[in-house]
């Protein structure tokens, strides 16, 4: 940029337009004499194994299944249009829930289906080992320019690495790096689960997501919850931070298949019925 009314963007020490964002991202500038706005926009297509980090809700079927299992409960219905089916489970129906509701005091069984907003983020920033659990709970992304782990061997909490969420065979979740060789990954996670260091290359190391099956997530929600978008700093002249909304790239808003989709267990769109 140049001219009487504008000036080229000024980067923090150690950064420039070529390294302000990790590989797989485009550095976008919008700068003048009075403001500096530098953003990272995703350009690399996410893995086909990535599932969206997004708000989840449950659909509940009728209490018409036999407790002994001889008759399966009817379907809980279809996820709302464009949303994804993450899993189903059966749950007991009890007239008196005092002391808990289990199959031992249930009069019937019902089906609960867990759905996820189909517009969730497929790639997001992770600042350390616990970041995967945070994202699995519905937090959105914030690709802060000039703050990714470009140097490697950096302690967690000081920079971010791009990751995606995957659904494992047991329906638990974990996170894997967008590009471990070029944009890095977290490694050497300490026993407390909070501390790690960044590195480039090496064996693939995934981060722990939810310990419970994903179908159990948010089963007490009464309404679908909108994913929370964090607002954070981007690069600014003289190191000053300017708040900016998270930049969501072209590929983070299109529907990709999950592992279950690849096996033929696809999400079905339609009208939702009952939230729990």
Q: Which residues contact 67 (CB under 8 A, 6 or more apart)?
A: 92, 103, 106, 107, 108, 109
| Whether residue 170 has pLDDT greater than 70 | yes
Cα–Cα–Cα angle for 98, 103, 108, rounded to 5 degrees: 95
Q: For residue 122, is pLDDT > 80?
A: yes
- How far is the C-alpha of 138 from the C-alpha of 226, rounded, in Å? 8
pTM of the model: 0.59
Pairing of strands 36-42, 25-31: antiparallel
Q: Which of 136-140, 192-196, 254-258, 260-264 has the highest mean pLDDT?
A: 192-196
| Confidence at residue 211, expressed as pLDDT on a 0 to 100 scale | 53
Most confident of 5-9, 78-82, 144-148: 144-148
Q: What angle do CA 219, 225, 229 make, to 5 degrees?
A: 130
pLDDT of residue 159: 96
């Amino acid at each position: 940029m140049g001219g009487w009314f504008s000036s080229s963007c000024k980067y923090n020490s150690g950064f420039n337009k070529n390294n302000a964002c990790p590989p797989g991202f485009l550095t976008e500038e919008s700068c003048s004499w009075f403001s500096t706005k530098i953003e990272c926009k995703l350009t690399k297509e996410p893995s086909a194994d990535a599932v969206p980090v997004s708000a989840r809700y449950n659909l509940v079927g009728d209490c018409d299944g036999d407790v002994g299992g001889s008759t399966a409960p009817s379907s809980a219905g279809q996820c709302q249009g464009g949303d994804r089916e993450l899993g189903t489970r059966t749950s007991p129906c009890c007239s008196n829930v005092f002391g808990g509701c289990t199959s031992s005091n249930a009069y019937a069984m019902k089906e609960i289906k867990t759905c996820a907003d189909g517009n969730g983020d497929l790639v997001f920033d992770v600042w350390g080992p616990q970041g995967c659990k945070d994202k699995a709970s519905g937090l959105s992304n914030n690709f802060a320019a000039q703050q990714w782990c470009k140097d490697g061997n950096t302690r967690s909490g000081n920079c971010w690495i791009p990751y995606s969420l995957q659904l494992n065979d047991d329906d638990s979740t974990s996170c894997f790096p967008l590009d471990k060789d070029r944009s890095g990954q977290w490694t050497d996670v300490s026993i407390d689960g909070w501390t790690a260091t960044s590195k480039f290359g090496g064996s693939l190391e995934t981060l722990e997501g939810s310990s419970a099956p994903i179908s159990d997530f948010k089963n007490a929600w009464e309404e679908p919850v909108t994913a929370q978008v964090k607002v954070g700093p981007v690069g600014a002249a003289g190191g000053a931070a300017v708040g900016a909304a998270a930049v969501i790239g072209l590929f983070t808003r299109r529907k990709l298949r999950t592992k279950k989709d690849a096996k033929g267990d696809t999400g079905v769109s339609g009208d939702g019925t009952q939230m729990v």
